[in-house]
Structure 1
Amino acid sequence: MNLKKDKNNIHDKSYKDLYSNSEVFLDLVKGMLKAPWAKDLKSEDLILTDKSYIASDYEEQESDIVYRATINGTEVIFYILLEFQSSIDYRMPLRLLFYICEILREYSKNQKHKPYNKNLKIPAVIPIVLYNGKIPWDVPTNFKDIIYNSDIFGNNIIDFKYDLFDVNNKFSKEDLLKSKSMTSAIFLLDQKIDALEFLERIKSITLFFNNLNEKEMQVLKHWIKNSIEMPLADEAIKILNSERKDVETMVANNAFILTESLEKAEEKGIEKGIEKVALEMIKDGVNAETIMKFTKLSKENIEELRRSIKH
């Protein structure tokens, strides 16, 4: 059973929507990144920029979000790259450098920087990569690590570090359950899991993520609706909306129905495979008795398959 909607739908409808919400983005950098500079950041300080820096070659597997903010009087730009390809791009540090340069080039142009301005300052650009592929991300996170013999050049070469959120490999289920934050709930549901495990995690979020307010729950439901295939998405939202006393029963009932559906689908797949073998044998001129012996199909089934070939 396919749990997730197709990748284009995911990056267009769910993650971009999700982290375009300043409160959700704030939860990401304060709750999950735990960067010291983020402790004084407030959602009202964040301004979403309606601009993308993704090259046309990457639009199918990526999306990006840009925030501007002021932290204690210091201007900062957050560049979030949402990476949804199953294969890893080892050019990432280089590509991030290009994006950072383009952001700062545009900033300087808009600020009309003059060559004689001794007080010229530019904002910090914080690059963040959010990756939900199955293969563990092993691309260097420091730019200098992709430069030949970088250690011999010391501080004479450019360097920066991007923060990485590897949804499937960096966060264990146990750690995400302990966190009980908006982002940890999303990561729990977005990891590569089957439908039964998805329902178990919905149960855990409903029962134990009591600190999520109504607005955050609405954001979570919206993400589920955009990311998860029906009817599983509908059932998940019903569980999230239910009374605590009803959660266990609802999950158990859904799990039973789901297990039955999977078993039927498996049986159907086996039947189709047997029919395919029988069709090939008919085409090869094998007689009905031999086909019955090898496939265990009835004579009526074989005659029906024979008629389907003629039509």
Structure 2
Amino acid sequence: MASHPHHPHDHSYKLLFSHPEMVRDLLTGFVKEAWVEQLDFSTLEKVSGSYITEDLRDREDDVIWRVRWGDDWLYVYLLLEFQSSVDRFMAVRVMTYLGLLYQDLIRQEAFTPNGKLPPVLPIVLYNGEKRWTAAQNVADLVEQVPGGLERYRPNLAYLLLDEGAVISDPEWSDHMRNVAAALFRLEHNRDEQDMLEVLGTLVEWLKAPEQTGLRRAFVVWIRRVLLPNRAPGMELPEFNELQDLHEVHDMLAERIKQWPERWEEKGRQEGRQEGRKEGRQEGEQRGIEKTARNLIKLGVLSDEQIAEATGLTVAEVEGLREEDTQ
């Protein structure tokens, strides 16, 4: 997905990460660095990324937040790269976006008290099945030429959150209350039961009235992304957008409960069809054998010729001949 085939469902990710809770939990849960503890998450505010579309039209899915870090603002640039494949040159894209973001911050005169540019944390979220293998610093993509030129090699790292790796990491505990973690676990669920469990947890966590927006965002994402990708047989009935998360959870629970019955029913039907087919085959087989017997009685054709005519093997024809002569 190196170019710009944006999935229509990317928008539902953008919707999720437009909620401060998702961004807070993403940072507190998955950025294992000391400075995160010094952020004042009550100041989280979304920044428009409109500038991006001037130069790179396909960046409108990125979500940019800023949060106070002491007296300074820290900009968190979430590259919502929800791609299923690894982009080898991701680091170059990050460098480009970062350059554009900084140009825009200069236009806005969004400097720190010392007149410097604010720090930016570029995060790449990746949800593919295979582990991420691409360079996480643009320096690693550039050929090294010794003798002084290496000084000019660009050096820019991004923070990679590879969901699959994060979740299978033994260090990571899924007991912490973290909505970003719940999203990752849903994307990489082991089975339907696992999916239901996580959904149940989310219902618990997002009960408050002020969390209605985030609940809805999860509902949209579950319908557009999770079910079509992870559980194609489980699409929910058409609905008015107002369905809430707990209803979706209950409907899916009901669906999953009915699954064993559905399999059994399907098995019974297949069994009946199978039986009819066998019956038909037995009838056909008897008909063929009768034809072969008649040909044997005529006494004109050899066993080979009879086999040829009926589709039986020579041994089968010989067997019939023996039965008839006994």
TM-score by length of 1: 0.65
Matched length? 255
Q: Do the aligned residues in 2 keep the contact of 1:78 with 1:125 (CA within 8 Å)?
A: yes
In the TM superposition, what whole-angstrom CA distance separates every residue of 1:88-145 from its partner, at most 9, and x where no partner exists? 11110000000011111122233299xxxxx641111210011112221111112211
d(CA) in 2 for partners of 1:21 and 1:184?
14
Identity of paired residues, percent?
23
| Pair 1:293 & 2:291 matched | no
**Aligned to 1:85, what secondary structure does the other structure show?**
coil
**Aligned to 1:67, what secondary structure does the other structure show?**
strand
d(CA) in 1 for partners of 2:122 and 2:190?
28
Q: Do the aligned residues in 1 keep the contact of 2:110 with 2:118 (CA within 8 Å)?
A: no
Structure 1 match to 2:310: none
Structure 2 match to 1:281: none
Q: Do the aligned residues in 2 keep the contact of 1:18 with 1:223 (CA within 8 Å)?
A: yes
| Pair 1:159 & 2:155 matched | yes
Structure 2 segments unaligned to the other structure (5+ residues):
1-5, 224-234, 285-326
d(CA) in 1 for partners of 2:109 and 2:244?
51
| Pair 1:137 & 2:142 matched | no
| Pair 1:190 & 2:194 matched | no
| Pair 1:122 & 2:117 matched | yes
Q: 1:70 to 1:270 in 2, by over 3 A?
A: farther
Structure 1 match to 2:247: 238
d(CA) in 2 for partners of 1:40 and 1:23?
17
Structure 2 match to 1:72: 70
Q: 1:108 to 1:189 in 2, by over 3 A?
A: same
d(CA) in 2 for partners of 1:127 and 1:77?
9
**Aligned to 1:141, what secondary structure does the other structure show?**
coil
The one-letter amino acid of 1:171's match is I
Structure 1 match to 2:107: 109
Q: 1:228 to 1:105 in 2, by over 3 A?
A: same
Matches within 5 A, 1:76-87: 76-87=74-85
Matches within 5 A, 1:25-104: 25-52=23-50, 53=52, 58=58, 63-104=61-102
Q: Do the aligned residues in 2 keep the contact of 1:77 with 1:123 (CA within 8 Å)?
A: yes
Structure 2 match to 1:244: none
Q: CA deviation at 1:213?
A: 6.2
**Aligned to 1:224, what secondary structure does the other structure show?**
helix
d(CA) in 2 for partners of 1:269 and 1:9?
37
Q: Do the aligned residues in 2 keep the contact of 1:23 with 1:43 (CA within 8 Å)?
A: no
Structure ranking higher on relative contact order (CA contacts 8 Å, 6+ apart): 1
In the TM superposition, what whole-angstrom CA distance separates every residue of 1:232-267 from its partner, at most 9, and x where no partner exists? 9979623868xxxxxxxx94x543313434666799
The structure with the largest alpha-carbon Rg is: 2
Q: Do the aligned residues in 1 keep the contact of 2:219 with 2:245 (CA within 8 Å)?
A: no
Structure 2 match to 1:302: none
Q: CA deviation at 1:217?
A: 6.0
d(CA) in 2 for partners of 1:161 and 1:267?
58
